[in-house]
Amino acid sequence: MTNWFEQNSTKSIVSYTIFVAGAVWAASTFILADNRVNLLKAQIESTSAQAEQYRVKLELLEREAATLRAQNSEYLQWLGRTENALPAIVPKVTELKAQVVGLTSEVAAYRTRNGQPAGGNTERRIKVGTADVDDLTGIVIAVLDTYADQSASVSVSVMGKVGKPTKVKAGHPFSLTTPKGQFLVSVASIAYLTDEVKFLVKPTSVPE
């Protein structure tokens, strides 16, 4: 046998090389196929999680719609039993709206007189996929997503700087320094059903 290998060394080397190449190819093919399977499994799991999230949101929306329909039915019944209800309500609503506008103007004027930005200490309601840019204070607030556990992914920054996505819950504070002073931006509430986050912007100091 030894003499055969010695006499046929070239054939032996070629055969061994072909065998090794085949083994490597088979192993590589198996690893690549396994990686593809794992990738597909991960994608399926991610899609299933998103589908479950949308299913929960749909159920909550259906409950909310049923509640609103019941309340609307009660209001319609009340209006039907109350004579001249609408003529009495409309003027009062108009009056209250006028009062709100007047008070808002007074508050803005008071802040301006006392060196506070008129846009300070305000409320911001921002939908998922949108951003609020306050030209007066330079604060930029963006909502990236909301989740079923009443948390949200948001970005809060000063105009001209890139904000860092942060997962937050109600009460989370952001402290910002702008040319108009220092501000505290707080997450007031997170509405998963309507994909909306409410923020409160409060000035903590103003430049001298």
pLDDT digits (tens, 9 = 90+) for 69-100: 777 777 777 766 665 556 666 677 777 777 77
* Euclidean distance between CA atoms 132 and 151, whole angstroms: 19
Write the DSSP symbol of residue 105.
H
**pLDDT given at position 142:** 94
pLDDT of res. 93: 72
Distance between CA atoms of 132 and 155, rounded to whole angstroms?
Answer: 10
Residue 151: pLDDT over 70: yes
Task: Report pLDDT for 5.
Answer: 47
What's the whole-model pTM score? 0.50
Asked whether the beta carbons of 150 and 192 are under 8 A apart, the reply is: yes
Report the sign of the C-alpha dihedral through residues 192, 193, 194, 195, in that order. Answer: positive
Is residue 119 pLDDT above 70, yes or no? no
108 with 118: CB under 8 angstroms?
Answer: yes
Query: pLDDT averaged over the chain?
Result: 76
Axis crossing angle, helix 85-113 with helix 9-81, rounded to the nearest 10: 120
Confidence band, pLDDT 50/70/90 cuts, at residue 138: confident
Q: In this predicted structure, what is the pLDDT of residue 30?
A: 58
Extract the tokens encoding 157: 């920054």
* End-to-end alpha carbon distance in the chain: 98
